[in-house]
Amino acid sequence: MKVRRGMKIWVNGIVQGVGFRPFVYAQATARGLTGWVRNTSSGVEIEVNGEPQALRSFVEALQSQSPPLARIDSLRVESRPHNGYVSFEIIASQPQPGEFIPISPDVTICVECQKELFDPHDRRYRYPFINCTHCGPRFTIIQDIPYDRPNTTMASFGMCRQCRAEYDDPADRRFHAQPIACPQCGPQVWFEVGGEKLAEGEEALQLARQHLRTGDILAVKGLGGYHLACDAINPEALARLRQRKQRSDKPFALMAFDLDTIVRHCMVSDEEAALLNARQRPVVLLERRPESSISSLVAPNQRTLGFMLPYTPLHLLLLQPESSFPETLVMTSGNLSEEPIAYQDGEARTRLAPLADGFLMHNRPIHMRVDDSVTRRVERQSYPLRRGRGYAPDPIRLPRQTPPLLAVGAELKNTFCLTRQHYAFLSHHIGDLENFETLQSFEQGIAHFERLFRIQPEMIAADLHPDYLATRYAHQRAEQQSLRLVQVQHHHAHLATCLADNGWDDEVEVIGVLYDGAGLGSDGAIWGGEFLLGGYAAYRRMAHLIYTPLPGGDVTVHKPARMALAHLQRAGIEWQDDLPPLQAFSAEQRQTLRAQLDHNINAPPTSSMGRLFDAASALLGIRAAINYEGQAAIELEALADPHEQAAYPFHISGRLIDPKPLWLALLKERRAGVPTATLSARFHNGVARMTAQVCEQIRQQTGNAIVALSGGVWQNMLLLTKTRALLQAGGFQVLIHRQVPANDGGIALGQTMIAAHTGRDSGQSNSV
């Protein structure tokens, strides 16, 4: 007689909205098992009955053959008596208060849906919202958990008979695809100008394409918000876009229909092709081919272009190749300069009206606005610059368990982070917290994440800087809810971020080389060229760039010429008339600046590495003033000769790193007529060599041979690759970022790790 037993299984991880229940159904029925599977608010629960051998192989299959988008973090099995089921069923979801599950990010259209999209015999032929269990919108349409249609912005669309049948059929590839839709019952597109609807459906698409063909700028509603689109080869259209968007030089992202098109404009390695094709479909920074016809207005003074492939059916239809149609489109975020991306139809109509000649819209609401992600390859690994669509809100697995925490991040490129157990839910890119709209987006984002992941923070982590809007929010909230507030030094947070990003779970200290624009130091100075020795618990400042006055604070951040003169003044180098930065000043302005520097009037000391790059850029006549963050350094890097080996020296004396010898050598060679490409390279090489020398000095003092590189300056690829090579050649282990950006977009992750540590040994409340 056959023995039939029961078994209960709990699966946690990314197991909802990824075709997991149909997969379980298929595995169970194939083995003749009976029972049920259901979503809960913490994952998936299964009860099965059958012969022991079949049950064993079922559990094995759950782990080894799960669907491509699923990620199992834990699987628990208990034996149970037979539960009496005579067939296998998918039963209704069971919410459990307080429990949580990770939510899938939005997923690029899959190959099968793409096939149907272009198949004239398919009932979803050319339907812009085709999707299935394995692809389509997720995070941007989810209002609450569990992930079921009524909890999404698809709730208002009733399914037609055919869609319902597919949705209910466990053998169908759209079984329980929550955003399932078709031309009969789902969302629709239309085209409008000045609030007037001119066309719908296919006609709207064709009209939009006609506008793009003639050089118009369109607002296109996508997955996480509106893009502004125009022909990337038409300089006249681009000049208009720059003028309307009030964005002088900051690069625009591009979209092309397929990889072949991108390869015509950029050098694409196999690894880069894989990244472009990844299901997250990020914007990938690629080296531009000199012969590319893309207008130089897309990314002025840069060697790279940021390309992405279409990630929704609507994009595929919009970009479909045709001889008279532009083969590459600018697809930049739909906003005015640094405001958040528009995502609601009403606000888009108002905010984008002065920017766009027409609107391609649709009626599937976006619940959460999410910008495109930006990344690049460093050798074999990806190196994120902005984490948004496709990646958020995938949790980052933490090396250790934390209490429920909220970290509010910093000011620029803000992201926040909530933690629970082993998970860090790092938010999508919020933006620069410098205006009301972005602050609102930040506060709404936090509320949404707390609800979605059922997290009630017990502690809040913030930057030391009292004037950051995020820090103020943290103070208010801590006070209102009587929560403990931990203020974390900016560069300590960078260091901890890099450790957590690399799964570091050690008490061993490492050498953090933290190079960025600015972060408040524990001594009140503006830090940014820092060598810290430490871990999650604490740090010691081992060395730093010598303090230089930052005259007028923010004014100087936007005017590298002022920083160049400040550096010369501090080094005791005369301001000679042939120096490019001087041309930015009248005689009177020079006098005022000199007086300001001499008497230290509103000129806080800074050790910023970002400002050192600014000064070099200005001294080489590249940038006297900038119109986007990091521009002076980015253009300096773009000009450097990557093959040049010589380097300018720093003077390293104890804890202080003095660039005076570097400035003297650079100015001398410039006067001797050495080309700018060589000068720039020798500057970069000098910083790389100094970094390795200081690390060596710290190793001799402490025996530590592990270096973590973090901070926005490490987005400089020339500096990163040169420094890493030198350190590795010197026998150091080098940690660089892989899942979160090196810039302040990653810093909230490190803040949580430090706060969690502080929480354990109570008493001390500040990490300064």
Binding site for Fe ion (CB under 5 A): 516, 744
**Closer by beta carbon to Zn ion, 115 or else 655:** 115
- Beta carbon of residue 412, minimum distance to Fe ion (angstroms, whole number): 8
Contact assessment for residue 244 and residue 385, using Cβ atoms and an 8 Å cutoff: no
- Cα separation, 666 vs 663, in Å, equals 5
Nearer to Zn ion, 187 or 306 (CB): 187
Pick what 255 binds: Fe ion, Zn ion, none; C-beta below 5 to 8 Å, kind-dependent: none
Shortest spacing between CB 528 and Fe ion, in angstroms: 7
Q: Which pair of structure tokens corresponds to residue 127?
A: 């339907």
Q: Which is nearer to Zn ion, 163 or 319 (CB)?
A: 163
- Cα separation, 312 vs 315, in Å, equals 5
Out of Zn ion, Fe ion, none, what residue 253 binds, judged by CB under 5 to 8 A for its kind, is none
Min dist. Cβ of residue 410 to Fe ion (A): 6
Which C-beta is closer to Zn ion: that of 186 or that of 745? 186
Dihedral sign (CA 366, 371, 376, 382)? negative
The item of Zn ion, Fe ion, none sharing an interface with residue 160, based on CB under 5 to 8 Å by kind, is Zn ion
* Least spacing, CB of residue 427 vs Fe ion, in Å: 17
| DSSP-assigned beta bridge partners for residue 38 | 45
Q: Which residue has the tokens 């390695």?
A: 269
Q: Work out what residue 182 binds among Zn ion, Fe ion, none; the CB cut-off runs from 5 to 8 Å by kind.
A: Zn ion
Contact partner at residue 417 from Zn ion, Fe ion, none, CB < 5 to 8 Å by partner kind? none
Q: How far is the CB of 69 from Zn ion (least distance, A)?
A: 10
Question: What is the rounded distance in angstroms from the CA atom of residue 307 to the CA atom of residue 108?
Answer: 15
Residue 402 structure tokens? 């934390």
From the list Zn ion, Fe ion, none, which binds 44 (C-beta under 5 to 8 Å, kind-based)?
none
- Residue 141 tokens, joined: 């349409």
Provide, rounded to whole angstroms, the least separation between the CB of residue 394 and Zn ion: 19
Nearer to Fe ion, 45 or 744 (CB): 744
Residue nearest Fe ion, Cβ-based: 516
Nearest to 93 by CA among 153, 164, 178: 178
Partner whose binding site includes residue 132, from Fe ion, Zn ion, none (CB under 5 to 8 Å by kind): Zn ion
The sign of the dihedral angle between the CA atoms of 560, 663, 719, 546 is negative
Instruction: Tell me the closest approach of the beta carbon of residue 633 to Fe ion, in angstroms.
Output: 14
Closer Cβ to Zn ion, 311 or 527, answer by number: 311
Residues in touch with Zn ion (CB under 5 A) = 110, 113, 132, 135, 160, 163, 182, 184-185
| Between 172 and 458, CB nearer to Zn ion | 172
Contact partner at residue 557 from Zn ion, Fe ion, none, CB < 5 to 8 Å by partner kind: none
CB 10 to Fe ion: min, Å: 41
* Residue number, 314 or 520, with CB nearest to Zn ion: 314
Owner of token pair 């876009």: 241
Q: Which residues of 315-338 are buried (b: 16+ CB within 10 A; e: fewer)?
A: bbbbbeeeeebbbbbbbbbbbeeb
- Using the minimum distance from each CB to Fe ion, give the nearer residue, 497 or 680: 497
Using the minimum distance from each CB to Zn ion, give the nearer residue, 184 or 653. 184
What string of H, E and C letters represents the secondary structure of 65-130? CCCCCCEEEEEEEEEECCCCCCCEEECCCECCCCCCCCCCCCECCCHHHHHHHCCCCCCCCCCCCC
Name 662's Cβ contacts closer than 8 Å, sequence gap at least 6. 648, 649, 650, 683, 686
Tokens found for residue 106: 């939005």
Strand partners, 463: 488
Shortest distance in whole angstroms from residue 123 CB to Zn ion: 8
| Pick 182 or 753: Cβ nearer Zn ion | 182
DSSP code at position 149: G
- Within 8 A by CB and 6+ apart from 235, the residues are 295, 297
Torsion angle of C-alpha atoms 62, 63, 68, 70, degrees rounded to 10: 90
CB of 163 to Zn ion, least distance (A): 3
The interface partner of residue 516, options being Zn ion, Fe ion, none and the CB cut-off 5 to 8 Å by kind, is: Fe ion
> Which residues, 6 or more positions from 718, have their beta carbon under 8 angstroms from its beta carbon?
637, 640, 642, 681, 684
Select the binding partner of residue 135 from Fe ion, Zn ion, none (C-beta < 5 to 8 A, by kind).
Zn ion
CB of 709 to Fe ion, least distance (A): 13
The token pair that represents 193 in the structure block: 């100008």
Quote the CA–CA distance of 543 and 515 in Å, as a whole number: 12
Hey, how many other C-beta atoms are within 10 angstroms of the C-beta on 79? 10
In the complex, the smallest distance separating the C-beta of residue 613 from Fe ion, rounded to whole angstroms, is 14
CA pair distance 403, 720, nearest whole angstrom: 34
Spatial separation of the C-alpha atoms in residues 183 and 163, rounded to whole Å: 10
Name which of Fe ion, Zn ion, none residue 744 binds, using a CB cut-off of 5 to 8 Å depending on partner kind: Fe ion
CB 349 to Fe ion: min, Å: 36
Q: Which of Fe ion, Zn ion, none does residue 637 bind to, with CB < 5 to 8 Å depending on kind?
A: none
Q: 450 exposed, middle or buried (CB, 10 Å; 0-12, 13-18, 19+)?
A: middle
Cβ atoms of 260 and 387 closer than 8 Å: no
Cβ neighbours of residue 491 closer than 8 Å, sequence gap 6 or more:
512, 514, 516, 519, 521, 527, 528, 530, 532, 711
Q: Looking up tokens 């506060």, which residue turns up?
A: 443
**Would you say 516 or 637 has its CB closer to Fe ion?**
516
417-427 burial, b at 16+ Cβ within 10 Å, e below that, comes to: bbbbeebbbbb
Q: Which does 163 bind (CB under 5 to 8 A by kind): Zn ion, Fe ion, none?
A: Zn ion
Using alpha carbons, list the distances in angstroms from residue 519 to 139, 410, 530, 749. 32, 9, 10, 16
Q: Which amino acid is at 239?
A: A
What long-range pairs does 668-675 form, CB within 8 A, spacing at least 24?
670/619, 670/620, 671/578, 675/641
Smallest gap from Cβ 563 to Fe ion, in A, equals 17
Nearer to Fe ion, 238 or 385 (CB): 385
Q: Which is nearer to Fe ion, 393 or 528 (CB)?
A: 528
Structure token digits, residue 67: 């669907």
Q: How far is the CB of 37 from Zn ion (least distance, A)?
A: 21
Whether the CB-CB separation of 571 and 663 falls below 8 Å is answered with: yes
By C-beta, is 44 or 109 nearer to Zn ion?
A: 109
Q: For Zn ion, which is the closer residue by CB, 114 or 301? A: 114
Give the span between the Cα atoms of 345 and 352, in whole angstroms. Answer: 10
Q: Which is nearer to Zn ion, 130 or 452 (CB)?
A: 130
Q: Which of 449, 374, 438, 389 is nearest to 140 (CA)?
A: 389
Q: How far is the CB of 532 from Zn ion (least distance, A)?
A: 47
Q: How far is the CB of 531 from Fe ion (least distance, A)?
A: 15
Contact 18, 67 (CB under 8 A): yes
